[in-house]
Amino acid sequence: MTTKREKTREKRRVMPSNVEIKARVSDVAKFAEKAAQLSQSEGTIIRQHDTFFNCTSGRLKLRDFMNGSGQLIFYERPDTDGPKLSRYSISPTTDPQSLKTVLSDALGVKGEVKKERRLFLIGQTRVHLDTVEGLGHYMELEVVMRQEQTVEEGQQVAEDLMQQLDVSQQSLVTGAYMDLLLKGPTET
């Protein structure tokens, strides 16, 4: 029998979630223009250096913002194209280099992803226009789920935004940038 205390602890452990879509971008200027119109902003430029570590389930990465701050991020999501649910937990750090050393020694490094990200906020969705070193141009939609929302509602938000941004089904990709880099060069 589950006690009240155990139920409370389980509720606190529920990981935040979002619905994500990742796709190749062939016309960066056109995509940026549409995202700027929808967000009513020019977006925010963020430089990120992600180090992925070996782990037995999900993905574990250290995101270094290249300014003395970073985030340790664990996430789980299926490797499928189209809208998918991602559950994650994040811990900020003010010493990403030291943390990278410890995690590298403990777990081993799977690989690294360097990118410049242009972030647009459209409603409850974070729209990323990414230039990924070694891969090219991509976009990500992250519909930040509200507690009362269903996965289906989040998927609908993502699909609606895909249409507004002219993101085609053919441009969708599966997996993380790390997975794409490990696969090696592909035709674009």
What pLDDT does 65 receive? Answer: 96
Which of the following CATH numbers is that of domain 16-183: 3.40.50.720, 2.40.320.10, 3.90.650.10, 1.10.600.10? 2.40.320.10
**Distance (Å, rounded) from C-alpha 21 to C-alpha 42?**
21
Cβ 163 vs Cβ 179: under 8 Å: no
pLDDT for residue 181 is more than 60: yes
Q: What is the pLDDT of residue 188?
A: 46
Can you read off the two tokens belonging to residue 153?
């509602």
Q: How confident is the model at residue 15 (pLDDT cuts 50, 70, 90)?
A: confident
Burial letters 30-51, b for 16+ CB under 10 A, else e = ebbebbbebbeeebeebebbbb
Please tell me the predicted confidence (pLDDT) of residue 1. 54
Q: Where is 92: in which H helix or E strand?
A: strand 84-93
Q: pLDDT tens for residues 54-87?
A: 999 999 999 999 999 999 999 999 989 888 999 9
pLDDT reading at 12 higher than 50? no
Question: Higher model confidence: residue 150 or residue 185?
Answer: 150
Q: How far is 37 from 32, CA to CA, in rounded Å?
A: 9
**Range with the lowest mean pLDDT among 11-20, 96-105, 140-149?**
11-20
pTM reported for the whole predicted model: 0.87
Using a 10 angstrom Cβ sphere, with 0-12 exposed, 13-18 middle and 19 or more buried, the burial of residue 125 is buried
β-partners of residue 131 are 116, 137
pLDDT tens-place string over residues 114-157: 999 999 999 999 999 999 999 999 999 999 999 899 999 999 99
Render pLDDT for 85-100 as a digit per residue (tens, 0 to 9): 999 999 999 999 999 9
CA dihedral (24, 167, 58, 100) positive or negative: positive
CA torsion 15→18→22→25, rounded to 10°?
-130
Residue 4 has a pLDDT of 52
